[in-house]
Amino acid sequence: MGAPVTIALDAMGGDHGPSVVIPAAALALIRHPGIRFILVGDAARIEAELSAHPTLAKKSEIVHTDVAVAMDAKPSQALRRGRWKSSMWLALEAVRDKHASAMVSAGNTGALVAMAKFCLKTIEGVDRPAIAAIWPTVEAECVVLDVGANVGADSRQLVEFTLMGAALARALFGMEKPSVGLLNIGVEEVKGVEEIKAAHAVLKEAPLPIRYHGFVEGDDVGQGVVDVVVTDGFTGNIALKTAEGTAKQIGAYLRAAMRRSFLARLGSVLAQGAFRALKEKMDPRQLNGGIFLGLNGIVVKSHGGTDATGFACAIDVAYDMASSGVVERLASDITGFHAKLELEGAA
């Protein structure tokens, strides 16, 4: 067995703070008995929640701070006021100083992006970090990035996102050469903005450790056409929120339909097993956790309003990434790619 994985948790982040973070850590500990935690936040509130989880208390260290980043704080303000002493910053610092293998926060996304980049720095050769999401598909799951770290992206950044997403797919899905597609408004090569077409041209020719599929459209994502879908953060975030909203809408339609008549209610009882499987497949909590890629450390962003089940899933993602060496693999891929570009340029 390898060394125990320690994860730093921003206990004050999100809408609920320790009342969700601590029960979530207890759930994650059941699934990963070797895990250890650094719980960062108001010690009195953390200890009050830990009193109900004695096993977790034995596996946890508390780092006290009474400063928390507000959910509506501007990233620049959070970075200026919350640096050095907020629960978010101290959890990131634990990763930077090698006291923890990863950190998880449900706090302010913009603040977390700014602080993570400032504290951990980007991997050499990476222009901007990206946030990746694990997306359910008809086939299995796929990686989609960027889903919110950057409003836009140029062709170089899209190629870097491709390498990041492929490294994550290898780590989490165990595939050596993931298939990758660029999200576009059509599959024809003449369609799309210039940045996407330029990235497409590079990916077609560059000797990368991927299987480049080409352009994919929005309806291809859920069909599992490729293992990794690459786009800019503006488009990716809209796609993510639209998919989550659609899942909730379908769930509401099904519940209403099953209550419409006696026969419908009877049918719902008979099909309980199938509906339970569908609910689990469509439950966004089961895939909670936006993964920051391109940093010298592992950072996972949980939804701010999630419950203990959702936050525990974000901890699971952090644990899997820490156990798989994804940061080291990504750094190697990025270094190799830029070395090849330099050789081709010299030639």
346, pLDDT greater than 60 = no
Enclosing H/E stretch for 216? strand 211-216
Q: Are 315 and 104 in contact (CB under 8 A)?
A: yes
Q: How far is CA 161 from CA 22, 33, 180, 304, 339, in A?
A: 33, 33, 10, 25, 17
**pLDDT of amino acid 64:** 96
91 belongs to a structural domain: yes
Dump pLDDT digits (tens) for 176-195: 889 999 999 988 888 888 99
Asked if residue 235 and residue 137 are part of one domain, the reply reads yes
340 belongs to a structural domain: no
178 belongs to a structural domain: yes
Q: Which two tokens stand for residue 54?
A: 């004695």
114 belongs to a structural domain: yes
Asked if residue 154 and residue 56 are part of one domain, the reply reads no
* C-alpha span between 71 and 66 (Å, rounded): 15
Asked if residue 249 and residue 185 are part of one domain, the reply reads yes
Q: How far is CA 238 from CA 94, 98, 251, in A?
A: 32, 35, 20
pTM of the entire structure? 0.82
- Domain span at 94: 6-126+294-331
Average pLDDT over residues 319-325: 85
* C-alpha span between 54 and 299 (Å, rounded): 27
- How many structural domains is the chain composed of? 2
Asked if residue 35 and residue 57 are part of one domain, the reply reads yes
**pLDDT of amino acid 3:** 66
Alpha-carbon torsion (138, 141, 142, 146), positive or negative? positive
What type of residue sits at position 74? Answer: K
End-to-end CA distance of the chain: 47
168 belongs to a structural domain: yes
What type of residue sits at position 266? Answer: L
Asked if residue 172 and residue 256 are part of one domain, the reply reads yes
Most confident among 24-33, 138-147, 152-161 (mean pLDDT): 24-33
